[in-house]
Amino acid sequence: MTNITINIVNAIGDVYGVEAEDGQIVFELIVKAFNDKKKITLSFQNIEMLTTAFLNTAVGQLYKDYPESFIKESLKVSNISESGKVALKRVVDTAKLFYKDPEALKRSIDEISED
């Protein structure tokens, strides 16, 4: 496996990673590189603002199609801010649970209906 770096600022043309649409661009680049058997460093250098909506689409949805172990092995992040790390970790943990237990949302609807 060869290594490549995806520079988010360059990929989305912005230092603000906030919109879900921009996250989709990053997601598609990661998928393309995974399919080409590349190891990826996702560089957050110069990113000034992140939302969980952006990170959900950019990274979270990888857990739908790729096993956790594969992602852990193939994806690294660099130059991410402390608050960015916190948000990304939360997005990743949420995504893992979401794809493991797709019925959880339906259950939460039932619970609130009974309140």
User: Where do contacts with another protein occur on this chain (CB under 8 A)?
Assistant: 14, 16, 18-21, 49-54, 56-57, 60-61, 63-64, 68, 71-72, 75-78, 80, 82-83, 85-92, 94-95, 97-99, 104-106, 108-109, 112-113, 115
> What long-range pairs does 79-82 form, CB within 8 A, spacing at least 24?
79/43, 79/44, 79/45, 79/46, 79/47, 80/44, 80/47, 81/44, 81/47, 81/50
Nearer to another protein, 25 or 99 (CB): 99
CB of 95 to another protein, least distance (A): 4
Nearer to another protein, 29 or 63 (CB): 63
CB of 102 to another protein, least distance (A): 9
Nearer to another protein, 25 or 68 (CB): 68
CB of 2 to another protein, least distance (A): 19
Integer Cα distance of 56 and 98 in angstroms: 11
The three-state secondary structure class of 78 is strand
CB of 62 to another protein, least distance (A): 9
Integer Cα distance of 15 and 43 in angstroms: 12
The three-state secondary structure class of 13 is coil
Place of tokens 């590189």: 33
